[in-house]
Amino acid sequence: MSTAREFKRFRGVAAAIVLGASVCIIACQARAAESTTQPADPPADTQPFIPDNISEAAIELTHRQKAALSAVRDGKDYRESAFFMMLARVEELVDAKAASEEYSSLESPAVGHLTKYPNRYRAQKLRIGMRVFSMREFVSGAEGWDACTDWPRGKKVWYMSGWHVSENGKGSKNLVAYSLVDPTELLGKPSSVKSDGEKFYNNPGKLLKLAAVYYKTFRHKTIDSTASNPRFMDYPLVLAYHLESSSPTRPKDLPTTSFSFVDYILVPIILLALALFVVRRQSKRAKNTPIGSGRAGNVKYTPLRNVEKDDLPPDERNEEPVDQALVDAVKAFENKSKESDGTDDKS
């Protein structure tokens, strides 16, 4: 019996211990849940995802677009996933009126800054002047351009290469632009066309103004790439969403003037002949002018003596005293001349 009683007593103590442990565990979990749902300090605000290689003035981008741009590496091939995403994003900015109004307010950095500090301008709107040397139309899904989800089959984009033109009109740095606006009408008739459809424009090229989003810098072979050691250069690449012609337009109410053979050759010849005629006439007139007339080229003779006294009576002339030795010499000469002639003045 004692054994049975001890067993019952042990079972009651074990049950009490288990029950107490369960209560403690439940209390600890409740306290932990309470501390988690109601912290003493409020949580910090969630910061937006901004990669280090995107400009602070970048256009509005989705998280997916930012993530794709964060993987962009300058100096590499540009046809990557981020490139086609940005083409689709920049296409949303195509609005001729809005872009024209904001054009003057856009930043216009030197092209050297674009290649030296690409992270400072990536995905930012820029104002760019460009002389276009060549242009080619690409259609997604056709030869030379593969279709993808962000840029599906049938979408068009226009490739333009040329020089970046600064605000003072000078340009010597290479620039590549992919335009979401057709530049054919602004560029006009090309000087030549290759078999693949690329159009070329004579030097110095067609001058355009671009509102564009800067994408990246990529490295490409220069023109002498056929050499054994081809040179490579860094080219800034922009995505244009607005184009304007920078050539001044003539008002419609003013007549147009065309210059021809008459303007460039005949008119200068006539002016030159007229000038020669006037010069020869003046020279001939100067030669025929009598001496002493006082005209240019004929100096009037002025005697050394005072000719104004020649018309006065001898007694009114103010004779200068004469050297007596000179007078005696003259008289001696006269007497000697008379003796040699055999004349005598005593008759």
Contacting residues for 148 by C-beta, under 8 A, at least 6 apart: 81, 84, 140
Distance of alpha carbon 261 from its chain centroid, rounded? 34
The model's pLDDT over 299-342, given as tens digits with 9 standing for 90+, comes to 555 555 565 666 666 666 565 556 677 778 888 888 887 776 65
Could you tell me what percent of the chain has a pLDDT over 90?
34
- Please state the domain extents for the chain: 63-245
Looking at residue 19, its pLDDT comes to: 55
The model's pLDDT over 170-199, given as tens digits with 9 standing for 90+, comes to 666 788 999 999 999 999 999 999 988 899
Asked if pLDDT for residue 120 goes beyond 90, the answer is yes
Asked if pLDDT for residue 105 goes beyond 60, the answer is yes
SS3 category, 20: helix
Asked if pLDDT for residue 258 goes beyond 50, the answer is no
Asked if pLDDT for residue 159 goes beyond 80, the answer is yes
Q: In the structure encoding, which two tokens stand for residue 224, read together?
A: 């002498």
- Number of C-beta neighbours around residue 292 at 10 A: 11
Q: Can you state the angle between helices 81-91 and 63-70, rounded to 10 degrees?
A: 140
In this prediction, residue 130 has a pLDDT band, given cuts at 50, 70 and 90, of very high
Q: What is the mean pLDDT of the chain?
A: 76
In this prediction, residue 126 has a pLDDT band, given cuts at 50, 70 and 90, of very high
Looking at residue 252, its pLDDT comes to: 39
Asked if pLDDT for residue 211 goes beyond 90, the answer is yes
Looking at residue 27, its pLDDT comes to: 55
The model's pLDDT over 267-290, given as tens digits with 9 standing for 90+, comes to 778 888 888 888 888 777 766 666
Asked if pLDDT for residue 294 goes beyond 80, the answer is no
Q: How many angstroms separate the CA atoms of 234 and 53, rounded?
A: 18
State the average pLDDT over residues 207-235: 78
The model's pLDDT over 2-53, given as tens digits with 9 standing for 90+, comes to 555 554 554 555 555 555 555 555 555 555 554 444 444 545 555 667 788 8
Closest residue by Cα to residue 133 from 175, 87, 167: 175
Predicted TM-score (pTM) of the model is 0.57
Asked if pLDDT for residue 137 goes beyond 70, the answer is yes
